[in-house]
């Protein structure tokens, strides 16, 4: 689990990196050896030497993964966006500049936000990424601001951990629906769809399937807020994979509709994939100009793609089965319909796609640079030329229908999994940013403030660990597992298993660490621990399997005591 950042953003507005510390292996030695080692390693220091140290921001000044974005009715220049590890940000100039407004809160991971259409000063924020993945940040419930983001109040749903969507009644800012995915790694009760009629003082669970199924998306009928559509999603995260749809041992995903404000719900199934087709996550969009026209983007083992209903969800037909467009998997499955034409739809995937014929054909609408793995789409109901996209490179805004976009180099929300430094003077800092490659910079600049011209590309994979050779800072080891010589640009694959045979299980961010006592020794961890002393040319397995093959906790079959006198544990 990723640990959220501590403290505040620095005064310059640049982001401090999210630091993740993981203990991934245990060395066994005698008590005497351990005590001697501890005495050799520990050295006394004067804490006063560090008391005056202050955090400073060194960049890079560019966006990281954002899964929520919203504009404000009748105020076309104002937008809010939420980063999965960077809190909530606000712009008042169409995305030219962004300012953090959530830094005083105990969580920096946000997966959903909504502005009340009838009172733009009221904002609801749902914490937790809302993306099922092996490395994620959970949250602590729902927050509310009544002054445009200046102050915040925690409302509840603390154990929901991942909020994926929030709906606010267009006419009543106190009537709110919340989609809660729940615990990513195991079952829990606080999941499904919740409703509040008093501005979040009390939440009632109005759509609940079971302890393994959460909610992924919500949508109102644009003509009647008593009619709500909800997508339930059964998914589970194992340390080395995401299980969704057919790959999970439960079948709970599905589309539901309520016509009485959430009191009762019925499943919508006719024409949609189901459990036998491995249905997973669903994204929903109702056409603002035609309440009977509904689109969904569906993940499924069989039949993934974009589906359309012309009768308010009673029946469905697949209009496009191209997996590049629909069926992305555990991503946000963002989909939106133009307010002035129900045949114009946008679908978020690795590229954002656009259709002008009701989903039959699509063309690429927005890709890189400044966007990759798109998550959510927001279109102004007053001017369909104003569009906002959130992606793994932050949030960008267009005011001319996508002809030009604001930059992602103005929102310091870069999502780093790990950081490290070398032993040079001045020392260099290395990190790998989600979806944006690895970066390195000196700890001080020849030009005063550290800027983009001081950053370098060290040639390591986009996320995970970077290990600097303690004997030669020019040599780097990185995730998936590579060795790089920075001076000549040489890259070598040095993984212990060049061709994946399925013998080992790997996490997404693979631990790679040099021994602090033996500078020639490099450790690499999968479900077993590996060791090399020859720069990765050969590896030795030095442990048994340190994990469980499945995330399911085995039932305790015996109550016999262990030799220590303790009952066996489920681990």
SS3 letters for 218-229? EEEECCEEEEEE
What does the pLDDT average to over 502-513?
84
pLDDT tens sequence across 21-30: 333 333 333 3
> In 3D, which of 176, 196, 283, 272 has the Cα closest to residue 233?
283
pLDDT tens-digit readout, 66-116: 999 999 999 999 999 999 989 999 999 999 999 999 999 999 999 999 999
Q: In angstroms, rounded to a whole number, what is the distance separating the alpha carbons of residues 466 and 478?
A: 5
The residues near 58 (Cβ < 8 Å, ≥ 6 apart) are 14, 429, 441, 443, 450
Which one has a higher pLDDT value, 6 or 136?
136
Of the candidate ranges 107-111, 260-264, 411-415, 529-533, the one whose mean pLDDT is the lowest = 411-415
* Tokens matching residue 157: 């749903």
Omega of the bond leading into 448 within 30 degrees of 0 (cis): no
Beta strands in 253-373 (DSSP E): 254-258, 266-268, 282-286, 294-298, 305-309, 317-320, 335-337, 345-348, 352-355, 363-366
Residue 395 pLDDT grade (very low, low, confident, very high; cuts 50, 70, 90): very high
In the CATH scheme, what architecture does the domain 116-124+135-370 have?
A: 7 Propeller (2.130)
The DSSP H or E segment spanning 387 is strand 387-391
Lowest average pLDDT, out of 23-32, 111-120, 469-478, goes to: 23-32
Instruction: With cut-offs at 50, 70 and 90, classify the pLDDT of residue 366.
Output: very high
Whole-Å CA distances, 341 to 291, 345, 395: 12, 9, 24
pLDDT at 411 over 80: yes
Provide the Cα torsion 298, 304, 309, 314; round to 10°. -80
How would residue 12 be classed by pLDDT, with cut points 50, 70 and 90? very low
Residue scoring higher pLDDT (26 or 417) = 417
With contact defined as beta carbons under 8 Å apart, do 307 and 296 qualify?
yes
Which tops the pLDDT comparison, 381 or 505?
Answer: 381
Which of 275-289, 495-509, 514-528, 530-544 is predicted least confidently?
495-509
Q: Count of alpha carbons within 13 Å of 227, Cβ hemisphere only?
A: 10
- pLDDT band per the 50, 70, 90 thresholds, residue 507: confident
Q: What is the pLDDT of residues 173-207, one digit of tens each?
A: 999 999 999 999 889 999 999 999 999 999 999 99
The pLDDT value recorded for residue 466 is 95
Q: What are phi and psi of 204, to 5 degrees?
A: -115, 130
* pLDDT tens for each residue of 304-346: 999 999 999 999 999 999 988 886 767 778 999 999 999 999 9
- Kindly state the DSSP code that residue 160 receives in the 8-state scheme: G
- How high is the mean pLDDT of the chain? 86
pLDDT surpasses 70 at 41: no
Predicted local distance difference test score (pLDDT) of residue 359: 97
Residue 130: the pLDDT is 87
Q: How far apart are CA 326 and CA 321, in angstroms?
A: 7
Domain assignments of the chain as residue spans, ordered by start: 69-104+371-413, 116-124+135-370, 418-571
* E strand or H helix at 39: helix 31-41
In the block, tokens 């039949």 appear at 303
pLDDT at 243: 63
Q: Are 295 and 335 in contact (CB under 8 A)?
A: yes
Contact present, 362 and 378 (Cβ < 8 Å): no
**pLDDT recorded at residue 452:** 84
Nearest-angstrom CA–CA distance, 534 and 520: 7
Percent of the chain with pLDDT over 90: 64
Residue ranges in 305-380 assigned as alpha helix (H): none
From 260, 244, 242, select the one nearest 252 (Cα to Cα). Answer: 244
Reduced to 3 DSSP states, what percent helix, strand and coil does the chain have, rounded to the nearest 5? 5, 35, 60
Residue 12 structure tokens: 């310059």
DSSP class of residue 141 equals: -
154 strand-pairing partners = 143
223-258: b or e for each residue (b if 16 or more CB lie within 10 Å)? eebebbbbbbbbbbbbbbbbbbbbebebbbbbbbbb
Instruction: Please give the pLDDT value at position 328.
Output: 72
Residue 126 belongs to what H/E stretch? strand 123-127
**Lowest mean per-residue pLDDT among 132-136, 361-365, 560-564:** 560-564
Contact by Cβ (8 Å): 227, 257:
yes
**pLDDT band at 46, cuts 50/70/90?**
confident
Closest of 382, 377, 281, 437 to residue 81, by C-alpha: 377
Q: Which helix (H) or strand (E) holds 243?
A: strand 241-244
What are the φ and ψ backbone dihedral angles of 132, each rounded to 5 degrees?
Answer: -80, 115
Buried b or exposed e, range 508-546, using 16+ CB within 10 angstroms:
bbbbbbbeeeeeeebbbbbbbbbbbeeebeebeeeeeee
């Amino acid at each position: 689990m990723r640990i959220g950042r501590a403290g505040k953003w620095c005064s310059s507005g640049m982001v401090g990196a999210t630091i993740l510390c993981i203990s991934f292996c245990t060395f066994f030695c005698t008590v005497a050896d351990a005590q001697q080692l501890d005495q050799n390693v520990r050295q006394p220091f004067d804490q006063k030497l560090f008391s005056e140290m202050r955090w400073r921001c060194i960049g890079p000044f560019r966006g990281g993964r954002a899964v929520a974005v919203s504009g404000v009715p009748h105020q076309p220049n104002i937008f809010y966006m939420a980063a999965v590890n960077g809190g909530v940000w606000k712009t008042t100039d169409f995305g030219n500049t962004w300012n953090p407004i959530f830094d005083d809160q105990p969580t920096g991971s946000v997966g959903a936000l909504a502005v009340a259409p009838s009172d733009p000063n009221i904002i609801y924020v749902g914490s937790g990424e809302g993306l099922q993945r092996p490395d994620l940040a959970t949250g602590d419930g729902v927050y509310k601001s009544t002054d445009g983001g200046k102050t915040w109040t925690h409302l509840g749903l603390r154990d929901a951990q991942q909020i994926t969507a929030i709906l606010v009644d267009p006419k009543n800012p106190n009537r709110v629906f919340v989609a809660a995915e729940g615990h990513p790694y195991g079952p829990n009760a606080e999941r499904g769809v919740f409703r509040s009629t008093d501005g979040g003082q009390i939440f009632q669970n109005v759509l609940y399937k079971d302890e393994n199924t959460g909610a992924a998306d919500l949508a109102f009928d644009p003509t009647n807020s008593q009619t709500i559509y909800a997508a339930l999603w059964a998914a589970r995260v194992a340390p080395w994979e995401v299980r969704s749809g057919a790959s999970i041992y439960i079948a709970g995903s599905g589309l539901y509709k309520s016509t009485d404000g959430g009191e009762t719900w019925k499943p919508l199934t006719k024409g949609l994939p189901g459990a036998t087709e491995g249905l997973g996550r669903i994204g929903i969009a109702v056409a603002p100009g035609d309440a009977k026209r509904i689109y969904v983007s569906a993940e499924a083992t069989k039949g993934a793609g974009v589906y359309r209903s012309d009768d308010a969800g009673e029946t469905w037909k697949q209009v496009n089965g191209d997996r590049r467009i629909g069926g992305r998997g555990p991503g946000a499955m963002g989909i939106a319909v133009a307010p002035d034409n129900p045949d114009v739809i946008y679908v978020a995937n690795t590229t954002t796609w656009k259709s002008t014929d009701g989903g039959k054909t699509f063309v690429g609408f927005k890709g890189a640079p400044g966007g990759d793995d798109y998550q959510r789409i927001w279109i102004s109901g007053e001017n369909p030329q104003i569009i906002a996209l959130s992606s793994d490179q932050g949030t960008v805004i267009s005011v001319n229908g996508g002809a030009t976009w604001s930059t992602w180099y103005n929102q310091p929300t870069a999502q780093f999994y790990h950081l490290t430094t070398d032993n040079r003077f001045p020392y260099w800092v290395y990190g790998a940013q989600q979806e944006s490659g690895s970066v390195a910079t000196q700890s001080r600049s020849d030009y005063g403030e550290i800027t983009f011209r001081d950053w370098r590309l060290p040639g390591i994979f986009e996320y995970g660990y970077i290990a600097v050779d303690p004997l030669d800072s020019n040599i780097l080891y990185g995730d998936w597992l590579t060795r790089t010589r920075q001076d000549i640009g040489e890259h070598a694959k040095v993984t212990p298993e060049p061709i994946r045979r399925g013998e080992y299980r790997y996490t997404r961010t693979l631990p790679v660490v040099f021994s602090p006592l033996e500078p020639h020794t490099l450790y690499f961890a999968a479900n077993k621990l590996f060791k090399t002393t020859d720069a990765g040319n050969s590896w030795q397995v030095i442990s048994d399997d340190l994990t469980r093959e499945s995330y399911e906790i085995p039932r305790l079959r015996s109550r016999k005591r262990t030799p220590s006198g303790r009952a066996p544990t489920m681990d």
